[in-house]
Amino acid sequence: MKKVGIIGVGEYLPKKILTNADLEKMVDTSDEWIVARTGIKERHIAAKVEASSDMALQASLQALESARIKPQDLDLIIVATITPDMPLPSTACVLQNSLQAKKAFCFDVSAACAGFIYALTVAQQFIARGGCKNALVIGVEKLSSITDWKDRNTCVLFGDGAGAAVLSEVKSGGILSSYLGSDGSAGELLMVPAGGSRLPASHDTVDKRMHYVKMRGNELFKIAVVTMTHAAQIALKQAGLECKDVDLVIPHQANIRIIMAMAKKLKLCEDKIYLNIEKHGNMSSASTIIALSQAVKEGRVKKGDIILLDAFGSGLTWGACVIKW
Ligand code: ACO
């Protein structure tokens, strides 16, 4: 099996910023509540005309440039998203066309907040087994398009953005391990009930606001802490490493309290955890890869560093991945 690593990263955040003060004018909430309960101060919101593939394109161009790979050299494009441009064609195919990456085969992965780690692991398998050489993996969300802006329980949490990574064979290091898991029995804790084959769009589903995210946050909170801790432990064990060996943890950015509770359980000090939740909120599939791209640009990731990606989301799904940079 070939060693596979990330050889370039990029990210894109839409221009518009929605602050907690803006939200105070929209629903019965306060900056104080949002900061204390979630750690979020602001989030980026895509323009009306900006679809997921548009954001993905910008992040991809940056990642390809940093990897020094041309779109024509891509063999595979995977887009992790729960907010595709449309049900079909896949956002990955739309992106392929924008990039003119004609050689690549393309598909989407739907695993919510764990989406990027799922897509990364799938791409790694293709390259490791010789099925392809260069892969582009994207996490992108326009969560503002499925957010109920009248529901204070959810609308304060989400943001939009895209992150991209180019994967290829590496001589040393790369992805050391990845652990993925799912539990469909708890799916109703976080869902968009309508818009699929179960409840196609109708006047009734629109009137009942069923095309928006419904979440039982309090129940999810506890599961998230336990699951992310467990996933990190398994991925590290598979890589033959311990928590003390990790240089930087990049957790999914759903709630600062979830991240800190997990850090406490893993006995991780705060300076080893990358946080961007304050400025971006929860961007589901896009969160971990945007954080990784920002961490690289800020010089927080150096050659030889051990990086742990860890995420949890709707499905339920979870995943953790250990990378030697
Ligand atoms: N402003 C003010 N008050 C609010 C707000 C708000 N925006 N939202 C809720 N409240 C109120 C509630 O109505 C409730 O009031 P009550 O006690 O009078 O009923 C009170 O605050 C406490 O509500 P809880 O839901 O218990 O608040 P909690 O501390 O659990 O925080 C939160 C809510 C932030 C959603 C948290 O539970 C959380 O982060 N959950 C996990 C989310 C998660 O991990 N999701 C998975 C990934 S996301 C994905 O896959 C797309």
| Per-residue pLDDT tens over the stretch 22-70 | 999 999 999 999 999 999 999 999 999 999 999 999 999 999 999 999 9
CA neighbours closer than 13 Å in the CB half-sphere of residue 122: 20
Whether the CB of 83 sits within 6 Å of ligand 1:
no
Tokens of 310: 């860890």
Q: Of 172, 204, 233, which closes a domain?
A: 172
Which two structure tokens, joined as six digits, stand for 115?
């989406």
122 and 38 fall within a common domain:
yes
Would you name the residues annotated as active-site residues? 113, 252, 282
Residues 44 and 14 in one domain: yes
The domain that holds 213 is classified in CATH as 3.40.47.10
Count of structural domains within the chain? 2
What was the pLDDT predicted at 121?
98
Q: How many whole angstroms from its chain centre is CA 139?
A: 5
**Can you tell me the distance from the alpha carbon of 25 to that of 19, in angstroms, rounded to the nearest whole number?**
10
Q: How crowded is residue 131: how many other Cβ atoms within 10 Å of its Cβ?
A: 13
> What is the tens place of the pLDDT at every residue in 200-243?
999 999 999 999 999 999 999 999 999 999 999 999 999 999 99
pLDDT of 316 reads 97
Considering the domain architecture, whether residues 160 and 256 belong to the same structural domain is answered as no
How far, in Å, is the centroid of ligand 1 from the Cα of 108? 30
Distance CA 14, CA 29 (A): 24
To the nearest 10 degrees (0 to 180), the angle between helices 52-67 and 287-297 is: 40
Query: How is residue 93 written in tokens?
Result: 């195919």
pLDDT at 320: 98
Same domain? For 275 and 184 the reply is yes
If asked whether residues 64 and 115 sit together in one domain, one would say: yes
The pLDDT value recorded for residue 97 is 98
pLDDT tens, position by position, 106-134: 999 999 999 999 999 999 999 999 989 99
- Are residues 140 and 98 part of one domain? yes
Strand partners, 163: 11, 139
Start-to-end CA distance of the chain, whole Å, equals 18
Total residues belonging to the chain: 325
Let me know whether 114 and 233 are in one domain.
no
Instruction: Assess contact for 8 and 69: CB atoms under 8 A.
Output: yes
| Torsion angle of the four alpha carbons 198, 203, 205, 207, in this order, in degrees rounded to the nearest 10 | 180
Asked if 211 and 146 touch (Cβ cutoff 8 Å), the reply is yes
Q: Which residue has a Cα nearest atom 40 of ligand 1?
A: 217
Please give the Cα distance from 164 to 60 (Å, whole number).
5
> Do both 300 and 231 map to the same domain?
yes
224/9 Cα distance (integer angstroms): 27
How high is the pLDDT of residue 143?
98
Report, as an integer, the average pLDDT of 169-175: 96
* DSSP state letter for 14: -
Q: Give the domain range for residue 64.
A: 4-172
- For ligand 1, atom 24: residue with the closest CA: 218
Neighbours of 82 (CB within 10 A): 24
Q: Which of 95-99, 129-133, 280-284 shows the lowest mean pLDDT across its residues?
A: 129-133
Using the 3D structure, point to which of 136, 157, 172 is the last residue of a domain.
172
Number of the ligand 1 atom closest to the C-alpha atom of 156? 7
Joined tokens for residue 227:
């699951």
The whole-number pLDDT of residue 299 equals 97
Tell me what the mean pLDDT of segment 144-149 comes to. Answer: 98
62 within 8 A of 11, measured Cβ to Cβ: yes
Integer Cα distance of 159 and 277 in angstroms: 10
Shared domain for 111 and 23, answered yes or no, is yes
Return the exposure string of 155-178: e unless at least 16 CB atoms fall within 10 Å of the residue's CB, then b.
Answer: bbbbbbbbbbbbbbebeebbbbbb
Among 172, 202, 235, the domain-final residue is: 172
Q: Which of 157, 218, 288 to mutate to test the pocket of ligand 1 (most atoms within 8 A of CB)?
A: 218
The residue type at 236:
L
Shared-domain flag, residues 236 and 311: yes
Both tokens assigned to 33: 């509540």
Measured between alpha carbons, how far is 305 from 325 in angstroms, rounded to an integer? 5
Distance from Cα 147 to the centre of ligand 1, integer Å: 15
Residue 158 CA: which ligand 1 atom is closest? 51
Q: Which residue, by CA, sits nearest to atom 42 of ligand 1?
A: 217
With beta carbons less than 8 A apart as the criterion, state whether 157 and 33 touch: no
Which of 33, 303, 25 has its CA nearest to residue 153? 33
Asked if residue 261 and residue 244 are part of one domain, the reply reads yes
Do 168 and 180 reside in the same domain of the chain?
no
Segment 244-254 shows an average pLDDT of: 97
